[in-house]
């Protein structure tokens, strides 16, 4: 018997009770003073999380809408654009630019490997006309965090407009938008922000505004200029996802109460604990050591384990929902999300459930080694003493 589903996918993430309650109310006028106050609070809070003094625009869309807004506002048909990619979301960002008629120069790495800043430097040298560089901070499909500070530095030194997909990282993994020279960063409300899907957050630098003024792609719903003009009046150009705004404001308050440093520390701890638990159960971590994500862990199954059967059993018998692989890794890996309102006990629960399921599937006995590894990791016991 399971009473409540444990959502351990890399977004949407589970909602804290406070956030759920914040949405349990009547609609308000999105052109009235209360919404203006909410928009101001979200914008100010988001700027602290992004660590930016640039504009932060709130768009009603999922994260992809935020990314599309970047392409629509920065790229003209025929423009060369460099897309650095090492997974499914990087691929999607490149495809998005191609859909707008960009001539996409792909800097591609094996899945599970990070983008190499030296290679980015070389490709930018070779393509001096590519004004815009598309980077992925946290590649959710492979559970990998790219060395964004170094990548952004390379792109900035080459005087390019640096655009970052931070959908599954910002608010869970540190980013210093201004200090690292990032012109545009995009996130989505359903990830570390602890809110439902529906709002995208997009930071836009002065350099990005200058590029925006020159770019000639068609744009309407995602026109940044409209968004900024209306934001100055405390509004959005079109009807916003008001319930998600209630939730996002509450999620932001919770992030600030915990303190961003503590939030990042917690995500790092949960990642280590998840990695330890999965390894003890015979899974092989997929992303390269040193670049493993703090928000999602990807792992290849032990021999003989059918990933589809495992996920189904976890869901039906244990109420635990984890993700599988994407794109070419569909059916070949598991991904466990640990971002947003997640704590150590949640990691214990997911690893415990996987351990039980492995026994049920006749892959390995449930002898408690997965949970022991999680506990040891959380308590900081050195491996040799376990």
Ligand X SMILES: Cc1ncc(COP(=O)(O)O)c(C=O)c1O
Q: Which one among 45, 63, 114, 143 touches ligand X, defined by CB under 6 A?
A: 63
Q: Which one among 107, 130, 162, 167 touches ligand X, defined by CB under 6 A?
A: 167
Does 172 sit near ligand X (CB under 6 A)?
no
Using an 8 Å Cβ cutoff, are 30 and 242 in contact? Answer: yes
Q: Cβ 332 to ligand X, closest distance in Å?
A: 18
Does 340 sit near ligand X (CB under 6 A)?
no
Using an 8 Å Cβ cutoff, are 339 and 10 in contact? Answer: yes
Q: Which two tokens stand for residue 231?
A: 């934001």
CB atoms within 10 A of CB 206: 11
Does 337 sit near ligand X (CB under 6 A)?
no
CB atoms within 10 A of CB 303: 7
73-112 footprint of ligand X as x/- string (CB under 6 A)? ----------------x-----------------------
Q: Cβ 62 to ligand X, closest distance in Å?
A: 3
Q: Cβ 193 to ligand X, closest distance in Å?
A: 11
Does 114 sit near ligand X (CB under 6 A)?
no
Q: Cβ 247 to ligand X, closest distance in Å?
A: 15
Does 188 sit near ligand X (CB under 6 A)?
yes
- Number of residue whose CB is nearest ligand X: 63
Residue 88 buriedness (CB in 10 A; 0-12 / 13-18 / 19+): buried
Using an 8 Å Cβ cutoff, are 156 and 168 in contact? Answer: no
Residue 172 neighbours by CB under 8 Å, 6+ apart: 191, 192, 263, 264, 267, 294, 295, 339, 340
Residue 86 or residue 347: which is nearer to ligand X going by CB?
A: 86
Does 148 sit near ligand X (CB under 6 A)?
no
* Segment lying near ligand X (by CB under 6 A), choices 14-22, 57-65, 261-269, 335-343: 57-65
Distance CA 228, CA 300 (A): 44
Residue 251 or residue 282: which is nearer to ligand X going by CB?
A: 251
**CA torsion 89→90→93→99, rounded to 10°?**
-110
Q: What does the binding site for ligand X look like in residue numbers (CB under 6 A)?
A: 11, 62-64, 89, 136, 138, 140, 165, 167-168, 188, 197
């Amino acid at each position: 018997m399971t009473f409540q589903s444990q959502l351990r996918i890399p977004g949407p993430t589970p909602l804290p009770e406070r956030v759920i309650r914040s949405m349990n109310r009547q609609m308000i006028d999105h052109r009235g003073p209360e919404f203006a106050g909410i928009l101001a609070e979200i914008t100010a809070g988001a700027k602290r999380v992004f660590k930016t003094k640039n504009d932060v625009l709130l768009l009603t869309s999922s994260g992809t809408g935020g990314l599309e807004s970047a392409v629509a506002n920065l790229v003209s048909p025929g423009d060369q654009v460099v897309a650095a990619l090492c997974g499914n979301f990087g691929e999607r960002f490149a495809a998005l630019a191609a859909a707008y008629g960009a001539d996409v120069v792909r800097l591609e790495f094996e899945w599970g490997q990070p983008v190499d800043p030296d290679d980015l430097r070389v490709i930018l040298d070779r393509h001096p006309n590519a004004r815009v560089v598309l980077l992925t901070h946290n590649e959710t499909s492979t559970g990998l965090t790219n060395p964004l500070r170094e990548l952004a530095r390379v792109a900035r030194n080459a005087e390019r407009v640096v655009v970052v997909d931070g959908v599954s990282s910002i608010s869970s993994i540190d980013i210093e938008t201004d200090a690292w020279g990032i012109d545009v960063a995009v996130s989505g409300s359903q990830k570390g922000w602890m809110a439902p899907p529906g709002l995208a957050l997009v930071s836009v630098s002065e350099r990005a505004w200058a590029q925006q003024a020159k770019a000639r792609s068609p744009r309407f719903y995602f026109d940044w200029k409209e968004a900024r003009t209306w934001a100055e009046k405390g509004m959005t150009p079109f009807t916003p996802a008001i319930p998600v705004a209630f939730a996002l404001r509450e999620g932001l308050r919770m992030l600030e109460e915990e303190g961003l440093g503590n939030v990042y520390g917690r995500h790092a701890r949960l990642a280590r604990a998840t990695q330890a638990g999965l390894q003890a159960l015979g899974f092989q971590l997929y992303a390269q050591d040193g670049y493993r994500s703090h928000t999602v862990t990807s792992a290849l199954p032990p021999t003989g384990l059918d990933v589809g059967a495992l996920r189904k059993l976890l869901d039906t018998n244990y109420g635990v929902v984890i993700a599988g692989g994407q794109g070419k890794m569909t059916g070949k890996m598991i991904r466990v999300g640990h971002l947003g309102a997640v704590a150590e006990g949640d990691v214990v629960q997911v690893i415990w459930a996987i351990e039980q399921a492995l026994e049920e599937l006749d892959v390995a006995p449930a002898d408690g080694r997965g949970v022991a590894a999680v506990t040891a990791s959380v308590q900081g016991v050195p491996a040799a003493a376990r």
